[in-house]
Every structure is written in structure tokens, then in C-alpha cells.
Amino acid sequence: MVQLKSPREVETMAAGGKILAATHQVVRGAVRAGATTMDLDKIAEQFIRSHEGATPSFKGLYGFPATICASINEEVVHGIPSVKRVLKEGDIISVDIGVFYGGMHTDAANTWAVGPVDEKTAKLLRVTKQALDAGLAAAVVGNHVGDIGNAIETMVLKGGFAVVRELVGHGVGQMMHEEPQVPNHGKAKRGMKLVHGLTLAIEPMVNAGSANTRTLGDKWTVITVDGSRSAHFEHTIAVLNEGSRVLTR
């Protein structure tokens, strides 16, 4: 069932989203060669909990053990933070974080470069970010869910990369994952019509090579089958009559 949010609930999500956006900036400041993904996880958890009433959404969700998902290079999403995963110059790291605040979740992800990266990797980050922006721009009242995926995939294909199909964006609010699903590909004017009060996590995952992925034996980490790099950017947005509003910027 799709849960539409009241203006008050949207404001609560905006407040949680502000904490989440700040958490991403704090984590970004700690991304450097020599840092471990566990270092980043600790920093994120401490920062979120320093805000009264705010807790990490992911910790314990479906049994996930940490505050952040930290996915390096060919890891697409859901990497588990570890003291053994040390960042090196030239790596990219995708950091996905959720915040639960005032009874509502918000969800956002960024991919950061660890020092200078090669030109193809830089383009992958640029194109994935542009794809997210295109998806957000399509998330307006009167459009359909398919318009979001169509806008994302069009941007990704133009950039010469591939959209991951096994994983999708989603409704978000009282629950971290609500209906509808928001695929990162699709046909314009298809799928559920977007209405006032809908809150969505839009999150293109884009691979430099093949679109295909598989899950590692840890049951969490999703990687590209061909070892190519993958990027992930995500925002939570409220679809509103007066104009949609990104809640995690």
C-alpha cells in the first residue's frame, strides 16, 4: 500500500533529512587513503546519535549490522563496514545512510573519490549524479513512476554506462522501504501516477561495464559480475503540488 504523507510528516522527514545530509558531509570529510570503512561507520553513527531522537535506520534492518553501507569500487551497494577494508588513493566508495527521526525514515547515498581517480571513473560519478538529478526532475505531480526510470536510464545510456536493474528505489517514510518500487529504467507515462504527498527514495546504481550484478557469500555485498566499477547516488524527495522538494540535500 502506498502511504501518502501529511504536511507535518513531510516536515519531520525534512528535519531528519537535514541530519542525514550533514552526516554525509561529515563522512565525506573522513574519506581518505588509510581510513577503513569501519572508521566511516563509527563517525556516521556517532554523528547521527548526537542529534536527540535520531538513530541510524539501517542498523538491525533485515539484520544489517551497521549504520552505513560502504561499497568500494566494483561493489554496487550493501557493503558491510569492516576494519579490514582500507581505502586507497584512486578508489571510489559509495556510502548509503538512513536516518530515523520523529517516526520517519530518510535515505540518501553518495559516491566519493579517494583522492584523484582516472577519467572513466570521474565520468561514472558525474553521469550517475546527473542521472539522479534527471530522476528527481521527473518526480513531479502528474508524471508516472516510469518517467523517473526513463529519465535516469536515458542519462546513463547517453553517458555510455549501464543501469543496475536488480535493485530499485522505493517509497520511504514510516518504513524504510514502502511502495511503490522505483526502478532506474522504465517507459515514460507508465506505472503509478505521482501524487501530492508521495515520498520516494530515488537511487540510480550505475556500472561502468555490464549491468549484471551478483551477491557475495556474506549475503549482503552486491558486486558487478565483470568487476567494473559502480556508482550510487540517492536522495529522498517529497512529491508536492507546490513543487517537489528534495529532503536530503
Contact map string, positions 178 to 217, toward Mg ion, x by CB under 5 A: -----------------------x-x--------------
Residue 45 or 107 having the CB closest to Mg ion: 107
| Pure H helices in 139-225 | 145-158
Contact map string, positions 146 to 185, toward Mg ion, x by CB under 5 A: ----------------------------------------
Alpha carbons 168 and 182: distance in angstroms, whole number: 5
**Shortest reach from residue 147's CB to Mg ion, in Å:** 19
Instruction: Retrieve residue 28's grid coordinates.
Output: 565525506
- Helix 119-138 to helix 145-158 angle, to the nearest 10 degrees? 160
**Shortest reach from residue 41's CB to Mg ion, in Å:** 17
**Shortest reach from residue 82's CB to Mg ion, in Å:** 21
Instruction: Retrieve residue 50's grid coordinates.
Output: 548526537
Q: If binding is defined by CB under 5 A, does position 40 make contact with Mg ion?
A: no
**Shortest reach from residue 203's CB to Mg ion, in Å:** 5
Query: Cα dist. 71→7, 112, 223, 236 in Å?
Result: 34, 10, 9, 20
For the chain, count helices (H), then strands (E). Answer: 4, 15
Query: Cα dist. 6→59, 117, 123, 193 in Å?
Result: 27, 43, 39, 18
**Shortest reach from residue 118's CB to Mg ion, in Å:** 28
Contact map string, positions 105 to 124, toward Mg ion, x by CB under 5 A: --x-----------------
Total site size for Mg ion, rule CB under 5 A? 3
Q: Which spans of this chain sit near Mg ion (rule: CB under 5 A)?
A: 107, 201, 203
